[in-house]
Structure 1
Amino acid sequence: MNRTKLTPLDAAFVQLESPGVPMHVAGLMIFEPPAKGGADFVRTLVSDWRKETRIAAPWNQKLESPSRWQLAPCLKTCQDPDLEYHLRHLVLPKPGGQVELGQLVARLHSQPMDMRKLLWECYVIEGLAENRFAIYMKFHHSIVDGISASVLLMKGLSDSAKDRKTSPFWIQTAPEKPFQPASFKMPSVPAMLGAANNVLKLFGRSDSLTTLRSAPRTPLNGPIGAQRRFATQNFDMTRLKATAKTAGVSLNDVVLCLVGGTLRKYLQGITALPTESLTAAVPMSLRAEGDLSPGNSVGMIYSIIGTNVADPVLRLKKISQATNVAKQQVLGLEPEMRVPYSIASFAPAIARMLTGVSGKKKPMFNAVVSNVPGGRDDKYLRGARLLHCYPANIVFPGMATSFTCYSHAGTLNVGITACRDTVPSMQKLALGMEEALCELEHGLGLEAHANPRSLDVVEAAL
């Protein structure tokens, strides 16, 4: 039996697991069936997958002990998966729209995983409009971060529409860590002092640096319930890139501006908009070049999202300034100290969750905004084209809303996860992102191209 000890960051997601705050992430993939797929296409797919007995790492790994109360969780290998449990086939009443699919995914995402079993679940969902179908794939956060989860999903798809023999996801072997010659050297004293000084800055107040004391109190940052809501939005990448280029900022800055715009409008609607800007924790990959292996390798930077600024162009400018300062906090360090600094910047939030004080004190940040890079080319599952891949993230006490983006084939897909009790009008956030982009384009003198898909959520938002 192979035995693998989890890293401290991976282990933290096991230790944080609880019935009310499950620590899993997921991807919702929407597929367009092949022209000659037939009425039984999805049923045949599920039947074939259930006959498959092969399984590769990390799909074949589960915890040695399912308890969260352990200092050093370990994984063990299981070669006899219960696919009756891990692979489910669900059918929505036809024609299932975005609202119905979102409600189903919200319920699936609310359910904690059985920590005694393999750390993934796959739900194949048919009954969508235009004969489309979906796959909702759930992973425990202890075995994947955003990049490694997207790699596992994309490895299970084909580059060719003519490939009608695509094997199940769990047959595909995950990439291993690239070999790196041992070159460890003890950091110099000035390098360690510089990193320690930058960590200390995060606990203070600054006019330019967004710190862990910058976030105001909002209704989004108290205790949360066990149930989730889930909404989706998507944008043409050419629109976002044109906006970023015109403004002279990064695409990530534009995404933060859209989040700031929709949260500003949402909080105004419930008369709860604070005078200070909300802040966001922005995950930053710490992976070495070419490292696509399973597990977590992320740190955090923090930025304002301009909710206290009415002008969308000025909001974007202030966000860009804040993210540049935050990045310099990391890039200004010696290379060997960037990973320790980034981990230290995330540690206070983990410590709050472990001690149970999250949601009871002033928040360290108000939301999480993550952007996972994807591929530019189309992907297929037995000839069915992947249209969208929406990420579903975790929320926890003190942080009831999470925005996660994934780019695929020229589209930025946004998954918004929230506490059901804290955010009762979830679709307003999705619709508000489109409105924020149109306002930003107008302010920059660009021709606004409203996304027709946003009209789908109007009825649910009212």
Structure 2
Amino acid sequence: MTTRVQARDLAFLAEETPSTPRHNATVEVFEPGASGFDHEQLLALIEDRISFVPRYRQRLQAVPGRLANPVWIDDPDFDLGYHVRRSALPRPGTPEQLRELVARIVSRPLDRSKPLWEVYVVEGLADGRVALLYKAHQALVDGVDTVDLAQVLLDTSPEPKLLGGDDWDAWKRPSVPSLVAGAVRDNLTRPDVLGQTLRSTSAALVRGADAAGERAGQVLGALTGRGGERETPISGRHSQQRRVVSVHTTLADHQRIRDGHGGTVNDVVLATVSGGLRAWLMTRSESMAGLRRVRAVVPVSVIDSELEATSLGSQIAAHVVDLPVGEPSAVVRLHQVSYSFQSHAETGRGVAANRLAGIAGFAPSTFHAIGSRVAAWEAGRGAQLIVTNVPGPQSPLYAAGARMVETYPVPPLLPGHLLAIGVTSYDGQVSYGITADRDKVPDADVLGQCLAEALDELLDTVSGVRPRAPRGRRKKSVKR
């Protein structure tokens, strides 16, 4: 069985370069139960449940002559052992060592000749813990036809629920004549396919012209000693290598700030990011004149009949907010961010965080994947940064009986972006995941420290402050 690749998915594939791999990643850390948790157990779990995400056993197949977009076909040589890999940290197995390994793995593009995903089982963490690193291409997980693999592996109880797997046999690989015939048929009978084919062909020509122009500009710049776009600490041409930083805080601290100043936890997160960026820029002795505001794309969950529905029960839309990094007052930064989202809340389209987190089997990694897709489409609006904030479940989740004790996202860098930030709340924690270019942002760990200090700065402002009603709630509903 074949399915034609949508135009938007094809764009993610076409725009990918060695220095801008277009995959999302998520790190999960587990506390093994009495039966342990290792590579073999994960293999058995994935084999048991991969039928819920059939695209994880499919690969891309091009159509001769670009008569239509490529198709997804069953991989006749699918090898689960290739995709589920085993690794280990040297002693003492610190979080820093884990992040260094994650950074090296996410720097490598996925193999286009195989299904576009990998999972790494990382052993050797301190206290006997085990980490999983999920890595899936943006074209693979769309939240409609395909959710993230983590969503079908996690359970709400420690008792593993084996479903028996399936007797899967790959469909026969389509021949060249059948691919051509299918492309011609779809172009003649389906106007949407013809339109996508024309747009894809035109886009390929434009990209080729842009690439040629960029190479010519580079040569001219090298000859004249000029050229190249002006770089900033958060934007510029990046290398092929990444740095990964994680910052772990508590949801209670964010809620305390929200209750003291009003707004939402999302406002607190973005105010923390604003304060962290400000402090980080100041450690670099950067002038704030050119970066008084950082334009960020923040995907939000909405209900909108005009947008593509997702399996999460809502749609995802991009909200553009100017983060006030030039503002010295932490409280003013919070109120400015809150005001930016006030109009969004008043439309009635917004989906409450607790509703998302309450979806049965909800895994934040799927939302991060959709959010990064939406943000990538909107990046052309002058955005300098992408921040995905996902409310996760506030009760423990398990994989093969092992309890997940920590999770954080590793968002991809878009062309021209030197930083990306993803935020996930889970079981009383709020974890910030930072992806940075290894060469241009060697002090990414300092940014992580600045984020933690920015949250502390906000906490210091709520001592003795009377709780205010969170946005969208009446005051009488606030617990004092």
On whether the aligned pair clears a TM of 0.5, the verdict is: yes
Radius of gyration: which is bigger? Answer: 2
1:244 partnered with 2:262:
no
Sort the Cα spacing of 1:345 and 1:49 in 2 relative to 1 into closer, same or farther, 3 A: closer
Q: d(CA) in 2 for partners of 1:8 and 1:330? A: 30
How far is the alpha carbon of 1:331 from its aligned partner?
6.0
**CA gap 1:155/1:312 in 2 versus in 1, 3 angstroms:** same
Q: Which residue of 1 aligns with 2:95?
A: 98
User: How far has the Cα of 1:50 moved from its partner?
Assistant: 8.5
| 1:147-186 equivalent positions in 2, closer than 5 A | 152-163=149-160, 165=162
- Aligned residue in 1 for 2:331: 313
Report the Cα distance in structure 2 between the residues aligned to 1:136 and 1:430, rounded to whole angstroms. 20
Q: Contact 1:157–1:166 (CA<8 Å) still a contact in 2?
A: no
Question: Is the contact made by 1:392 and 1:415 (CA closer than 8 Å) also made in structure 2?
Answer: yes
Question: TM-score, normalised on structure 1?
Answer: 0.72
In the alignment, the residues of structure 1 paired with residue 57 and residue 374 of structure 2 have an alpha-carbon distance, to the nearest angstrom, of 31
State the alpha-carbon separation in 2 of the partners of residues 19 and 155 from structure 1: 30
SS of equivalent residue, structure 1 residue 244: helix
- In the other structure, the counterpart of 2:199 is none
**Which residue in 2 is equivalent to 1:32?**
31
| Residues 1:446 and 1:256: Cα distance change in structure 2 (over 3 Å) | farther
Supply the distance in 2 between the matched residues of 1:146 and 1:97 (Cα, whole angstroms).
33
Quick check: 1:15–1:70 contact (8 Å CA) kept in 2? no
1:202-351 mapped onto 2 (5 Å cutoff): 218-275=232-289, 276-285=292-301, 292-293=310-311, 298-325=316-343, 347=377, 349=379
1:406: which partner in 2?
Answer: 424
The one-character-per-residue Cα deviations of 1:56-89 (angstroms, maximum 9, x if unpaired) are 412122211399x997343223365212321100
User: What corresponds to 1:339 in structure 2?
Assistant: none
Q: Give distance in 1, aligned partners of 2:279 and 2:144.
A: 31
| Residues 29 and 132, structure 2, Cα contact 8 Å, conserved in 1 | yes
Deviations 1:269-323, CA, capped at 9 Å, x for gaps: 11224232222111234676995449x9643221122110111011111111123
Corresponding residue number in structure 1 for 2:409? 391
Q: How far is the alpha carbon of 1:424 from its aligned partner?
A: 0.3
- State the AA in 1 paired with 2:421: F
Per the TM alignment, residue 241 of structure 1 is displaced from its structure 2 partner at its CA by: 1.7
User: Are the structure 2 counterparts of residues 280 and 5 from structure 1 closer, same or farther at C-alpha, using a change threshold of 3 Å?
Assistant: same
- 2: CA distance, partners of 1:19 / 1:66: 23
Q: 1:249 offset after TM fit, Å?
A: 1.0
| TM-score normalized by the length of structure 2 | 0.69
SS in 2 for 1:243: helix
1:82/1:62 CA distance change after superposition, 3 Å: same
Structure 2 SS opposite 1:105: helix
Matched residue SS, 2:124 = strand
CA distance in 2, matches of 1:167, 1:138: 25
Distance change >3 Å, CA 51–CA 327, structure 1 → 2: closer
The one-letter code matched in structure 2 to 1:247 is H
Partners of 2:141 and 2:148 within 8 A in 1 = no
Superposition RMSD on alpha carbons, in Å?
A: 3.5
Residue 97 to residue 247, structure 1, CA distance change in 2 (3 Å):
same
Q: CA deviation at 1:222?
A: 1.0
Pick closer, same or farther for the CA change 1:158–1:330 going to 2, 3 Å. Answer: closer
Counterpart contact for 1:120–1:139, Cα < 8 Å = yes
Q: Please, which runs of 5 or more residues in structure 2 have no aligned partner?
A: 169-229, 351-372, 466-480
CA 1:442–1:53: 2 relative to 1, 3 Å: closer
- C-alpha spacing 1:47/1:21, structure 2 compared with 1 (3 Å): closer
Question: Identity over aligned residues, as a percent?
Answer: 30
Q: Verify the 8 A CA contact 2:295 2:323 in the aligned structure 1.
A: yes
CA distance in 2, matches of 1:393, 1:95: 27
Structure 1 unaligned blocks of 5 or more: 172-215, 333-342, 351-362, 448-462
Matching of residue 5 in structure 1 with residue 23 in structure 2: no
Q: Which range moved further: 91-100 or 155-164? A: 155-164
Does structure 1 residue 381 correspond to structure 2 residue 362?
no
SS at match of 2:421: strand
Preserved contact between residue 238 and residue 410 of structure 1 (Cα < 8 Å): yes
CA contact (8 A) 1:156 1:166 kept: no
SS at match of 2:239: coil
1:101 aligns to what SS in structure 2?
A: helix
Letter of the 1:13 counterpart? F
Task: Give the counterpart of 1:45 among 38, 41, 48.
Answer: 41
- Does the residue aligned with 1:406 lie in a helix, a strand or coil? strand
Q: Could you say if the C-alpha distance between residues 8 and 244 of structure 1 is closer, same or farther in structure 2, counting changes exceeding 3 Å? A: farther
Corresponding position: 1:416 with 2:434 = yes
Q: For the Cα contact (< 8 Å) 2:75–2:114, is it kept in 1?
A: no
Which amino acid in the other structure matches residue 19 of structure 1? P
Structure 2 letter corresponding to 1:283: P
Instruction: Please state if 1:115 is matched with 2:112.
Output: yes
Structure 1 residues 313 and 283, CA, compared in 2 at 3 Å: closer, same or farther?
same
Residues in 1 aligned to 2:374 and 2:96: alpha-carbon distance in whole angstroms: 39
| Cα 1:434/1:50, change in 2 over 3 Å | closer
Residue 107 of structure 1: how far off its partner (Å): 0.2
